[in-house]
């Protein structure tokens, strides 16, 4: 499964990009996006999944 952010759920709080800036970035649309080519296996990805307040990150 590919790592993804559900844009219908994401509130744009920015927490995941703070926790794991190697993988998540805030887009011009105000929502989080997975950085192309990022290492989705980094431990901080799991932390971001756990910490997202609306459960928008999945894989
Ligand atoms: S932590 Fe969740 S709600 Fe906040 S920006 Fe990231 S994906 Fe969106």
Q: Structural domain boundaries of the chain?
A: 4-58
pLDDT digits (tens, 9 = 90+) for 32-59: 999 999 999 999 999 999 999 999 999 9
In angstroms, the Cα distances linking 14 to 1, 18 are 23, 6
Note the pLDDT tens digit of each residue in 3-24: 999 999 999 999 999 999 999 9
Largest CA distance in the chain: 26
CATH 3.30.70.20 fits 4-58, yes or no: yes
Residue whose CA lies nearest to ligand 1 atom number 3:
10
**Does the C-beta of 21 come closer than 6 Å to ligand 1?**
no
18 vs 1 pLDDT, higher one? 18
**Side-chain-facing half-sphere of 6: CA atoms under 13 Å:** 11
pTM: 0.95
Angle at 37 between CA 29 and CA 43, to 5 degrees: 95
Confidence of residue 1 (pLDDT cuts 50, 70, 90): low
* CA atoms in the 13 A half-sphere facing the CB of 18: 6
- For residues 31 and 29, give the distance between their C-alpha atoms in angstroms, rounded to a whole number: 6
Closest C-alpha to ligand 1, atom 2: 52
């Amino acid at each position: 499964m590919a790592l993804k952010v559900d844009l219908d759920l994401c509130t744009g709080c920015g927490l995941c990009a703070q926790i794991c800036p190697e993988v998540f970035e805030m887009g011009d649309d105000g929502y989080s996006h997975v950085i192309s080519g990022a290492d989705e296996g980094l431990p901080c990805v799991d932390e971001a999944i756990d910490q997202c307040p609306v459960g928008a990150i999945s894989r």
